[in-house]
A and B are shown apart, each in its own frame.
Chain A
Amino acid sequence: MKRLVRIILAVVVVIAVGVAIFLFKPAPLPDVSEAAAKLPTGQALIDRGEYLTRAADCVACHTTSGGTPYAGGLAFKLPFGTVYSPNITADKETGIGDWSDAEFVRALHQGIDNKGRNLYPAFSYASYARMTTEDALAIKAYLFSLPPVHAEAPKNDLSFPFNQRYVLRFWNLLFVPNGPLPQDEKQSAEWNRGAYLTEAMAHCGECHTPRNLFYALDNSKKFAGAELQGWKAYNISSDKTTGIGSWSDEQLIDYLSKGHAEGRGSATGSMGEAVDYSLRHLTPEDIKAIVTYVKTVPPQTSGDKAIVEAEPPATLKASTAYAPAADAAAQGGLGLKLFQGACASCHGWNGEGLQTPYAALRGSRTVNDPDGTNLIQVILKGAHMTTPLGKQSMPAFANAYSDVEIAALGNYVLAHFGGKQSAITPADVAKARTQ
């Protein structure tokens, strides 16, 4: 009996020591010398790094609204607390100025900082793990070419056990891929380039792929769409109804490179930022490669009701640019009145956009989603983007109209432009204001 207890005890101790070693053993550094030797030097390296830094859209997360690029501090509200993006300028005290090349590459590939601590996967290292070491080093060279900014990011505010960073070693073991994205020899060079840009650089899945119980990407539902911080990242799989399967190549290219596609509306929210900061800077060849790849992602039918019918609703067809159908105008209502006063002069009544094509609402998923999720957010927060037609912007209406008014406006817009019955309530608007 005593012997059995001893054996059990010994096994428990061995397992505990094993787990402890797994959790607390210092993480080894990768050897980056071979990759470094393949890179150009000087300005050529920095230029390559600048392009890749844009392709990876580092600035979107590592900059606060109106803040210095890459100085960090942007809040990410997660179900278990708030984390803040760190300063990734070359400042030695508050940034990454002291990091070695190997430490930087380890951070991108494994989510481990220069002191060996695990970083939170709000940092999309599960995607950047697919990046080549060469490209990671070029990004570092570019970031280090910028002036260092002294800026301390706020402390993370996470509840137990999520504030225990070492727990993430289990998460990494389960969910972080190892090594760069493998080439698929059966596919074209363009497809492979697109896969690399989409997965390792643009990290589209971090928003557009739903997450599992452990908050890791559920790649069995790749690109099926998800909701985060009060916005929907729509289904971008090749499903013809709920995804982008019915978009033409030209529409996809325009949407990604210009933030607007004829008959599909304009990108707003985080997608607007992704276009503005990242995608519009990519070469036409790279945009085409992304489209080539994304179109081959298997269709995922999602439950999302943001479905654009091929035929525009009757309310839209009966309208001119300057007036809704006569019977609709006679019906009136708060939503119509608000649209008339605040929206019609730019958007027009027929969905084509009056002031600019960027104001065209016809065919946009945002005006076809009965939940009105992104519609309410855009009305509250506005939108802005740098485009080939100059800076385009829509003002934020959060302080201009009440919850009752914005709910009425949202329901009217969904009915008129999408032909959708919706039931946005003032409480929905109040909630959206906090997100």
Chain B
Amino acid sequence: MIALTVNGEDRSVDVPDDMPLLWVLRDIIGLTGTKFGCGIAQCGACTVQLDGQPVRSCVLPVASVGTRHVTTVEAIGATPSGKKVQQAWLDLEVIQCGYCQSGQIMSASALLERNPDPSDGDIDAAMSGNICRCGTYTRIRAAIKQAAKA
């Protein structure tokens, strides 16, 4: 059994040590807001936060999470920056198909948490690993800037 703290709740899961965290979240715990995209940490759709830092859950063996707190898109609205990001996302209607957006929101809220006033360069560095096939990048950038001012 592996002990995890997910969105503030203590969980105990009976899974192999090297099962990716994404599998545990979606298939074992049932939190399906986090998406499977590429499976090789190249698209960012599976981004969740460990102690507030963004990680790619598709390649993260669950045993390596340890005592760090897992936050998924289901609970990010409860954090100050997550709340601002989600509101800006709604205000600017960032989302098109939506598949990548839970990952985008997790990366964007982590960015604002550590850098309340990011430059374009900071946004590029933090967000380039999250790709969007609908091409909503300009709205994502605008929404991050709006959230920063909120």
Give me the interface of A with B, judged by CB distance under 8 Å.
Answer: 321-324, 326, 329-330, 337, 340-342, 344-346, 349, 354-356, 386, 389-393, 395, 400
Determine the interface band of chain B, counting residues with CB < 8 A from chain A: 20 to 34
B107 closest partner in A (C-beta): A345
5 further A-B contacts with Cβ under 8 Å, apart from A321-B53, A341-B129, A356-B64, are: A341-B128, A345-B44, A356-B60, A390-B64, A393-B59
B59 engages A349 (CB within 8 Å) = no
Residues of A within 8 A of B18 (CB): 386, 390-391
A390 engages B125 (CB within 8 Å) = no
A389 engages B63 (CB within 8 Å) = yes
B125 engages A344 (CB within 8 Å) = yes
Contact of A349 among B40, B42, B54, B125 (CB under 8 A): B125
A346 engages B125 (CB within 8 Å) = no
B145 CB within 8 Å of chain A: no
Known: A326-B119, A355-B55. A340 touches B63 (CB 8 A): no
- A390→B23 CA distance, assembly (Å): 14
A346 engages B41 (CB within 8 Å) = yes
B 57-70 binary contact with A (CB < 8 Å = 1; else 0) = 00111111000000
Residues of B within 8 A of A349 (CB): 125
A346 engages B121 (CB within 8 Å) = no
B62 closest partner in A (C-beta): A390
A328 closest partner in B (C-beta): B121
9 contacts between A and B (CB under 8 A): A321-B53, A322-B114, A329-B125, A344-B125, A390-B17, A390-B61, A390-B62, A390-B63, A393-B40
B129 engages A340 (CB within 8 Å) = yes
B51 CB within 8 Å of chain A: no
Residues of A within 8 A of B111 (CB): 322
B124 engages A329 (CB within 8 Å) = yes
- A64→B136 CA distance, assembly (Å): 44
B59 engages A346 (CB within 8 Å) = yes
B64 engages A323 (CB within 8 Å) = no
A206 to B: closest C-beta gap in Å: 31
A392 closest partner in B (C-beta): B61
B91 CB within 8 Å of chain A: no
Contact of B124 among A340, A356, A393, A395 (CB under 8 A): A340
- A389→B68 CA distance, assembly (Å): 14
Contact of A395 among B42, B54, B61, B125 (CB under 8 A): B42
User: Which of A322, A329, A393, A400 has most chain B Cβ within 10 Å?
Assistant: A322
